[in-house]
Structure 1
């Protein structure tokens, strides 16, 4: 028995070794062999699939100058990188969250939120190099390989139960690539590459270290109002500051380039007017009501429910994760046609339906079930409850809106009142104060009179409760001296 077992183990080890060796690829940065089940072609395909989903989810930020800037700097940096064999694309997406991320195949994204918080081109360049470093070192592909090796599924973190993910339309594997958490070694390597690449194209990489302090302060400020963790793809920046400063000093000696650039004023002038925080024109929640000034409608959000807004949909979820509601647009010339398309799309079986009027608007109410497919039941080896939905289709201004409430059939009665009350309070938005609500924007000011940052900010009528927030936005301390003629950022409507 012992001999047979030993022979079996050796055979298994040999087979595994052959499989791993067959799946090795040379890392462009280190030159060493890495385990990879993802080929270059697959990597490109993943990026091509993920890119339209990213754009649909967040939207591009509509600023041609900034889009041109990130692409020009990105392409210049690719030319000095370890991996020039990909067609890179660089885009700024319309999200207020402070983040930058890369997906396989050469796609790099910066949010307008992080662009607003940079205080010079050198800070931007360091983070840009970091993200290109993830692609150059094939970190996303390696993470995907590790995931496949461990037979773990990639699912976007959601505030709702997994069985409802198909309705949220956020669980696609390609979009989930954005949310891979890189390990310490990967992040350290990308920091090193960020310093190297930004220095090679003429920027002072010390500024990259300074930006980590801004991120640290932003995280500390957000402890009571946490940054949405669906974009928190990077580890805590606190311990990276000193390391990056040392790396920057080393690379400054290596390249021997005099006058490495910071370019503070030119960057600040370029982002003057960038949207800051949530853009109310795209919809916002205030006093438990969702308003959409552009589309001119409103409806309540159940008390205590979490919510998330995107260009594609507005989603609400009960804190216990047992129910969600989602507002989306649905195709169809009539409400009945839209209802049929909805049933077909989600493979729902109608239980009851009726024509309604919701605050003077034509509507169609529909209760429908979705039972688990047989193979799902077999895979899970347990009884999965039927999903029950209540949908109100509402016709308004030539568009059909779907408000769908979703829960397990066993919980449906508990949430029916919340579902129906929300849907029946969908109405036209007529309040001029809401209709005319404008986004806050970063405004760059030339300091007329020297003083501390706090004194300067007060000159521009910054409220006391927002002084710390503006200090972080400027990458400065409130007691720091500001000279006359220098530029500072404030936020105004």
Structure 2
């Protein structure tokens, strides 16, 4: 038996050698379970899902800008052979992310928070760095190998099997270290790539301060040891030093910042939630473009995306979602829904919801440990089939039935003019008419007292900072 186990172990070692590849950035050998062709294919397959989830932000000049700067930076990167794509997606969240194979996405939320081209370029280089260093491929490979090792251990040792859950959690913490290392390496690459196309990479460090202040003001600070990203304050000093080193290497005596040009570019960008895509006010969800509304249960959290609106209580014991279901009629839509979610109908009936034809269906999904029970109202309105589905366990169903029903039976046509005509806030770039503190300038432009700090962060400044006449600043209007 020991002989066979030794042979299997040797076979595993040989297999790992076959999966070694030279890292394009470090030149060292990495264990990866994916070829470059597979990496490119994975990105290409995932790109439509990202666009379906967020939507492409409709601003031709902004899309051209990210493509132009992205392609220039990709050309000086460690993997210029890839076919890169750069896109701004329609999300208010402050985020940027990359898919394997050359796909980079910036949200309109992060575009709104940059205050010059150099800050943008540094983060763009950081995301390209994740691709050139094959970070996502490495992490997937490490995760796969770890899971394989854990499963093998469970088969060989019954005592180890009893610790399976604890070991799985431990693996997550183990690979967190690699995540931080990846982020640091991408910071270094962001500095390198942005410097190589002439930008002042120290500006990326300044943007980390904006991120830190944003996290603090929103109450979303993440403890350093639980975050895959290094603490913004720690990154500040490191990136500043790296930027100075690269200025010397590239002889950048007049590195580009591009403050005014960038601010003019984002003049008019949607800021925050876009009510045209639906918004919640006083525990009611309104959708001005599709002209419907329904109540959100009191105390429930919610999340909105172009594909689905989700609601759930804080304890996660139930959830509801709204989505569109294809079908020429209600019966066809109901069959599609049951099939797609592998639901077995318990009962169904035709109903009317505020004058709209609908079908109410109770259906189960049987799982190994329990039965999930759903109540769904499929409502025909404006040539669309709207599905409002409530989901919980069969044991909890009676407790949530009235909550589900109240939301579904109050789906109605939206007619209130103030909701139908709600406009999003947009960033407006103003020229300061006379020197004053930032606080004074913002108040003179109708920024309310409780939002002053928000707009100080947005402008990357302190409220007490003196702003000189002629300076460009961000404010908002509808």
Q: Considering the TM-score relative to the shorter chain, is it more than 0.5? A: yes
1:4-403 equivalent positions in 2, closer than 5 A = 5=2, 11-151=7-147, 183-223=179-219, 234-372=229-367, 377=368, 384-403=369-388
Cα shift at 1:322: 1.9
Alignment partner, residue 171 of structure 2: none
SS at match of 1:151: helix
For residue 444 of structure 1, the aligned residue among 423, 429, 434 is 429
| CA distance in structure 2 between the aligned counterparts of 1:441 and 1:121, rounded to whole angstroms | 20
Alignment partner, residue 415 of structure 1: 400
Which ranges in structure 1 are unaligned for 5 or more consecutive residues?
153-179, 378-383
| CA distance in structure 2 between the aligned counterparts of 1:64 and 1:264, rounded to whole angstroms | 20
| CA distance in structure 2 between the aligned counterparts of 1:193 and 1:323, rounded to whole angstroms | 44
- Residue correspondences, number: 447
Query: Cα RMSD over matched residues?
Result: 1.7
Any conservation in 2 of the 1:272–1:442 contact (CA below 8 Å)?
yes
| CA distance in structure 1 between the aligned counterparts of 2:391 and 2:385, rounded to whole angstroms | 19
Q: Which moved more, 1:353-362 or 1:337-346?
A: 337-346
Any conservation in 2 of the 1:28–1:82 contact (CA below 8 Å)?
yes
Cα shift at 1:369: 1.2
| CA distance in structure 2 between the aligned counterparts of 1:462 and 1:386, rounded to whole angstroms | 52
SS at match of 1:367: strand
The superposition leaves residues 120-160 of structure 1 with CA deviations (integer Å, 9 ceiling, x where unpaired) of 000000000000000000000001101111228xxxxxxxx
Alignment partner, residue 163 of structure 1: none
The superposition leaves residues 341-396 of structure 1 with CA deviations (integer Å, 9 ceiling, x where unpaired) of 11122222111111111011111111111223xxxx4xxxxxx2111111101111
Q: Tell me: CA distance 1:273–1:42, structure 2 relative to 1, closer, same or farther (3 Å).
A: same
Cα shift at 1:266: 0.5
Any conservation in 2 of the 1:297–1:427 contact (CA below 8 Å)?
yes
Cα shift at 1:248: 0.2
- Are 1:456 and 2:451 an aligned pair? no
- Are 1:482 and 2:474 an aligned pair? no
Which ranges in structure 2 are unaligned for 5 or more consecutive residues?
149-175
| CA distance in structure 2 between the aligned counterparts of 1:54 and 1:456, rounded to whole angstroms | 39
Cα shift at 1:426: 0.3
Cα shift at 1:240: 0.1
| CA distance in structure 2 between the aligned counterparts of 1:428 and 1:182, rounded to whole angstroms | 51
| CA distance in structure 2 between the aligned counterparts of 1:475 and 1:320, rounded to whole angstroms | 37
| CA distance in structure 1 between the aligned counterparts of 2:42 and 2:292, rounded to whole angstroms | 37
Cα shift at 1:309: 0.3
- TM-score in terms of structure 2 length: 0.91
Any conservation in 2 of the 1:139–1:182 contact (CA below 8 Å)?
no
SS at match of 2:345: strand
Q: Tell me: CA distance 1:308–1:226, structure 2 relative to 1, closer, same or farther (3 Å).
A: farther
Cα shift at 1:258: 2.8
SS at match of 2:388: strand
Q: Tell me: CA distance 1:122–1:272, structure 2 relative to 1, closer, same or farther (3 Å).
A: same
SS at match of 1:185: helix
Cα shift at 1:321: 1.4
| CA distance in structure 2 between the aligned counterparts of 1:332 and 1:181, rounded to whole angstroms | 48
| CA distance in structure 1 between the aligned counterparts of 2:229 and 2:320, rounded to whole angstroms | 30
Alignment partner, residue 468 of structure 1: 453
Any conservation in 2 of the 1:182–1:234 contact (CA below 8 Å)?
no
The superposition leaves residues 287-320 of structure 1 with CA deviations (integer Å, 9 ceiling, x where unpaired) of 1111101111110111111111000010111222
Any conservation in 2 of the 1:204–1:260 contact (CA below 8 Å)?
yes
Any conservation in 1 of the 2:212–2:233 contact (CA below 8 Å)?
yes
The superposition leaves residues 255-304 of structure 1 with CA deviations (integer Å, 9 ceiling, x where unpaired) of 01331100100000000000000001100111111110111111011111
Q: Tell me: CA distance 1:318–1:340, structure 2 relative to 1, closer, same or farther (3 Å).
A: same
Any conservation in 1 of the 2:42–2:101 contact (CA below 8 Å)?
yes
Any conservation in 2 of the 1:101–1:233 contact (CA below 8 Å)?
no
- TM-score in terms of structure 1 length: 0.88
| CA distance in structure 1 between the aligned counterparts of 2:382 and 2:461, rounded to whole angstroms | 48
| CA distance in structure 1 between the aligned counterparts of 2:458 and 2:177, rounded to whole angstroms | 26
Any conservation in 1 of the 2:442–2:452 contact (CA below 8 Å)?
yes
